[in-house]
Chains A and B, each alone.
Chain A
Amino acid sequence: MLPVIWFWIVATMVAIYVVLDGFDLGAGIVHLFVARTDRERRAVLKSIGPVWDGNEVWLLAGGGALYFAFPALYASSFSGFYLPLMMVLWLLILRGSSVEFRSHIDNALWRPFWDIVFSLASSLLAIFFGAALGNVVRGVPLDAQGDFFLPLWTDFQPGPHAGVLDWYTVLVGLFAFATLAQHGALWVAYKTEGAVLARARTAAAITWPLVVILTVATTIVSFRLQPHLGASFAAHPAGYCFPALALLGLAGIFVFHRRSQQLAAFLSSAVYIVGMLTSVVFGVFPNVLPANQDPALSLTISNASAPDYGLQIGLLWFAPGILLTLCYHVYLYRKFAGKVRLDDGGY
């Protein structure tokens, strides 16, 4: 029972990470398109300025929970995805420093340079995170010790000898890119006014049909590649509530966007993302990392989890900690609620 609880806690934390850091990554993806002048770009950056660092902490906190609850999964997946993870780290470093460095020097070459670094790093991160999810669905060549090492690519076929990148994981990567671009555009639309708002609405209007097409395509391909997904839903039809949630979110984006209710549209996008991620998690369960050569070697919630004492005591410190964290978040987002203003009364 305890491993199941922790499985869902970690999955929830990852989902919160994707929703929160997703909008600032997405703002980065659409940054160059929605904001053209230095003033406009400052507005986009200021819309994520006070919160992006805290959003990124969800990755670290989720990683920490994963570490003590499922040490075998942490060890296996991080060392197996060694090369792409290191590149993710480099991109996170470049992206974080570009937000900080940009504002310090008022120079016509300096600022556009960091804008491009920011946008490029954000885009690549979205693709990498999507590809990572694709790898978890497809499975990896785990050995009897629970180890593997994936090359970046082999023949781009999602077979038993696939690398990190094959046509399927690249597809999921592009899917994540489109989803987060839309998510970011909706955030920027909610937080800005004038020309930036208009362009952000355009970006959201362009990405919505793309997201719909990619949702359908990726879903079909995923169910064909990973039979476990279909089996999970067939065994527990209650699980269909997760994809239903995603569809509800997708419809919500469309409706609220048309009515120019930007906050509601953004929240619908969050619902959509949570629905998609929980669908994947539900489909993969009870595996945490499927093996694609010998399914018997898959890492599951029982063979990858820590002993019960650790999981129990973990709940003890986790519960008050997460409540505190939610309080900070509510306070922080309330303090910085509303449209970004650059000179007068706003923050």
Chain B
Amino acid sequence: MDSALALHRFHFAFTITFHYLFVQLTLGLGFLLFVLKTLALRTGDEHYNDAARFWAKIFAVNFALGVVTGIPMEFQFGTNWSQFSRAAGGVIGHTLGMEGLYSFFLESSFLGLFLYGEKILGRTGHWFSAMAVWIGSWMSAYLIVATDAWMQHPVGYALGSKGEIILTSWTTLLFNEWAFWQFWHAILGGLVTGSFAMAGIGAMYVLLKKHGDYGPTFVKVGVTAGVIAALLVAFPTGDQQGKLVGRHQPVTLAAMEGHFETAAGAPIAILGQPDVDKQRLDNPFLIPGVLSFITHTRWEAEVKGLSDFPREQWPDSIPLLYYSFHIMVGLGTIFIAIMALSFLQLWRGRLYASKPLLWILMLAMPLPYVANTAGWMTAELGRQPWLIYGLMRTSAGVSPHVSSGSAMFTLLGFLGLYTLLLMLGLFMIWREIEHGPGHEGPAH
């Protein structure tokens, strides 16, 4: 843990994980705000505008925290991973540069107009600025995912005489098939977070019998978006993402599944603890044939186990990778169950009277954060020991002259600062939730 490499890895992992807590809500809530503004524009009902103003305040705090924790991400490529940047900057600099130019400017300009300009923009103008913020955030997600997709599945490049990586096709980089599925999977994951937040706060208001009609509105919008997102995040996007891993990173798939021995009709592990040294799964709870089916759509297909791959190609944190994957899939299944049941009751007109279900919706709010985090940990731990899959080892990408002492110093700084930010952010969002919607005119 004291080695510079381990510290640099934890530095990036911690700052990106923390940053993504805010990003996922922005991705989901940005879209739901647009939905509320569209409802307001189409029905002419001020109720939806008030609802949008309330969520805009939470969105603003969340967005600001996303922005300030996002700036260190772009910088860290250079500060902590300079050898990686020198080799690959000419490629991934394109997607990162485009993100700044095409999405951040769109987002930030129209967020300023959205938060400060309701009075001067008029109804349609304000609706338009909500749409621009939403599209900006999703475009940003696409370009970042395309960057990560290139690291997972490098395309459109050639190797130079000194081993440097040269971009040969910008369109191939931009339309990497990995990016397509990963983008929709991540977007829908964010929409699950946003939907659960909206439905959960709504359920709380209904249970507390506070804030009149807003509770039912939030539940209705949250559950309707939530059931769609929870289903699509699993099928087809999660499924297709899994198939890509199976095709291009078979050793990662085996590690994710805790699948040590090559077998035909391979079972899937629902529970169990991987023992890497003894190469087996302890206390397994298996369903036969399913792993073969989901990877090859044939029940009898052969799935390669870890033992068939050279050990230096194994991901280096197999237990954490295995648990991350299982937590994501397990929670994803629970989300489908909660949202499908809630939607059924909503459709039958019984949801607002169903206390147990409202309690579940309220208490489930933090779970999508866990699932999204676990999902990204699956992707990035699964990429190990490679920084760029098959091209550059993680250990070869680190900044050579930044000592473990310097890395520890700044890591502790980020740990402290981010803990403070999280407390303040939660405190401020909680105040807005307690205050509730419908009290004032346009924000600011």
Query: Hey, which chain A residues are within 8 Å of B409, CB to CB?
Result: 83
Judged by a CB distance under 8 angstroms, whether A336 is at the interface is yes
Specify which of B97, B102, B168, B421 is in contact with A97 (CB 8 Å cutoff).
B421
Judged by a CB distance under 8 angstroms, whether B236 is at the interface is no
Asked if B94 and A347 make an inter-chain contact with CB atoms under 8 angstroms apart, the answer reads: no
Chain B interface size, as a band, is 35 or more
Asked if A93 and B98 make an inter-chain contact with CB atoms under 8 angstroms apart, the answer reads: no
Asked if A97 and B424 make an inter-chain contact with CB atoms under 8 angstroms apart, the answer reads: yes
Asked if B117 and A50 make an inter-chain contact with CB atoms under 8 angstroms apart, the answer reads: yes
Judged by a CB distance under 8 angstroms, whether A61 is at the interface is yes
Interface centre among B80, B101, B104, B168 (most CB of A within 10 A): B101
Asked if B60 and A54 make an inter-chain contact with CB atoms under 8 angstroms apart, the answer reads: no
Specify which of A64, A147, A317 is in contact with B401 (CB 8 Å cutoff).
A147
Asked if A86 and B79 make an inter-chain contact with CB atoms under 8 angstroms apart, the answer reads: yes
Interface centre among B64, B104, B121, B166 (most CB of A within 10 A): B104
Query: Hey, which chain A residues are within 8 Å of B366, CB to CB?
Result: none
Asked if B108 and A86 make an inter-chain contact with CB atoms under 8 angstroms apart, the answer reads: no
Asked if B82 and A50 make an inter-chain contact with CB atoms under 8 angstroms apart, the answer reads: no
B77 to chain A, nearest CB (A): 7
Judged by a CB distance under 8 angstroms, whether B428 is at the interface is yes
- Given known contacts A64-B96, A67-B77, A90 and B101 CB-to-CB distance under 8 angstroms: no
Asked if B401 and A50 make an inter-chain contact with CB atoms under 8 angstroms apart, the answer reads: no
Judged by a CB distance under 8 angstroms, whether B99 is at the interface is yes
- Given known contacts A53-B111, A61-B104, A90-B413, A347 and B90 CB-to-CB distance under 8 angstroms: no
Judged by a CB distance under 8 angstroms, whether A321 is at the interface is yes
Within 8 A of B (CB), among A34-89: 46, 49-51, 53-54, 56-57, 59-69, 71-72, 74-80, 82-83, 85-86, 89
Query: Hey, which chain A residues are within 8 Å of B106, CB to CB?
Result: 324, 328
Asked if B94 and A314 make an inter-chain contact with CB atoms under 8 angstroms apart, the answer reads: yes
Binds A, one of B24-32, B66-74, B178-186: B66-74
Asked if A306 and B64 make an inter-chain contact with CB atoms under 8 angstroms apart, the answer reads: no
Specify which of B68, B75, B87, B119 is in contact with A347 (CB 8 Å cutoff).
B119
A144 to chain B, nearest CB (A): 12
Query: Hey, which chain A residues are within 8 Å of B88, CB to CB?
Result: 71
Asked if A79 and B399 make an inter-chain contact with CB atoms under 8 angstroms apart, the answer reads: yes
Query: Hey, which chain B residues are within 8 Å of A309, CB to CB?
Result: 166-168
Query: Hey, which chain A residues are within 8 Å of B85, CB to CB?
Result: 67, 71, 74-75, 78
- Given known contacts A82-B399, A100-B60, A149-B402, A64 and B99 CB-to-CB distance under 8 angstroms: yes
Judged by a CB distance under 8 angstroms, whether B113 is at the interface is yes
Asked if B113 and A92 make an inter-chain contact with CB atoms under 8 angstroms apart, the answer reads: no
Within 8 A of B (CB), among A1-17: none
Judged by a CB distance under 8 angstroms, whether B417 is at the interface is yes
Asked if A61 and B94 make an inter-chain contact with CB atoms under 8 angstroms apart, the answer reads: no
Query: Hey, which chain A residues are within 8 Å of B83, CB to CB?
Result: 75
Asked if B444 and A54 make an inter-chain contact with CB atoms under 8 angstroms apart, the answer reads: no
Judged by a CB distance under 8 angstroms, whether B208 is at the interface is no
Asked if B117 and A335 make an inter-chain contact with CB atoms under 8 angstroms apart, the answer reads: yes
B116 to chain A, nearest CB (A): 4
Interface centre among B69, B92, B109 (most CB of A within 10 A): B109
The proximity string for B residues 148-187 relative to A, scoring 1 for CB distances below 8 Å and 0 otherwise, is 0000000000001000001110100000000000000000
Asked if A63 and B109 make an inter-chain contact with CB atoms under 8 angstroms apart, the answer reads: no
Asked if B90 and A78 make an inter-chain contact with CB atoms under 8 angstroms apart, the answer reads: no
Residue of chain B at shortest CB distance from A143: B401
Query: Hey, which chain A residues are within 8 Å of B212, CB to CB?
Result: none
Judged by a CB distance under 8 angstroms, whether A258 is at the interface is no
Asked if B79 and A82 make an inter-chain contact with CB atoms under 8 angstroms apart, the answer reads: yes
Judged by a CB distance under 8 angstroms, whether B1 is at the interface is no
Asked if A51 and B112 make an inter-chain contact with CB atoms under 8 angstroms apart, the answer reads: yes
- Given known contacts A50-B116, A347-B117, A68 and B97 CB-to-CB distance under 8 angstroms: yes
- Given known contacts A75-B89, A310-B167, A331 and B71 CB-to-CB distance under 8 angstroms: no
Within 8 A of B (CB), among A308-329: 309-310, 313-314, 316-318, 321-322, 324-325, 328-329
Query: Hey, which chain A residues are within 8 Å of B68, CB to CB?
Result: 92-93, 96-97
Residue of chain B at shortest CB distance from A326: B105
Judged by a CB distance under 8 angstroms, whether B298 is at the interface is no
Assembled-state Cα–Cα distance A148/B78 (Å): 13
- Given known contacts A79-B402, A93-B417, A328 and B109 CB-to-CB distance under 8 angstroms: yes
Asked if A325 and B101 make an inter-chain contact with CB atoms under 8 angstroms apart, the answer reads: yes
Assembled-state Cα–Cα distance A76/B89 (Å): 12
A299 to chain B, nearest CB (A): 11
Residue of chain A at shortest CB distance from B410: A86
Asked if A75 and B78 make an inter-chain contact with CB atoms under 8 angstroms apart, the answer reads: yes
Query: Hey, which chain B residues are within 8 Å of A97, CB to CB?
Result: 64-65, 68, 421, 424
Assembled-state Cα–Cα distance A307/B428 (Å): 48
Residue of chain B at shortest CB distance from A66: B93
Asked if B93 and A68 make an inter-chain contact with CB atoms under 8 angstroms apart, the answer reads: yes
Asked if A77 and B78 make an inter-chain contact with CB atoms under 8 angstroms apart, the answer reads: yes
Residue of chain A at shortest CB distance from B106: A328
Specify which of A46, A306, A322 is in contact with B101 (CB 8 Å cutoff).
A322
Query: Hey, which chain A residues are within 8 Å of B104, CB to CB?
Result: 57, 60-61
Beyond the given A63-B75, A71-B87, could you list 11 further A-B residue pairs with CB under 8 A, ordered by the A residue number? A46-B444, A61-B104, A64-B99, A65-B100, A67-B96, A83-B409, A85-B75, A97-B64, A105-B428, A318-B101, A328-B106
Can you list 13 A-B contacts with CB-CB less than 8 angstroms, sorted by A residue number?
A49-B112, A67-B77, A67-B97, A71-B87, A74-B93, A75-B85, A93-B421, A309-B166, A310-B90, A310-B166, A317-B170, A328-B106, A347-B119
The 3 closest A-B pairs by CB, nearest first: A68-B93, A71-B89, A78-B78
Interface residue ranges, A against B (CB under 8 Å): 46, 49-51, 53-54, 56-57, 59-69, 71-72, 74-80, 82-83, 85-86, 89-90, 92-94, 96-97, 99-101, 103-105, 145-149, 306-307, 309-310, 313-314, 316-318, 321-322, 324-325, 328-329, 331-332, 335-336, 347
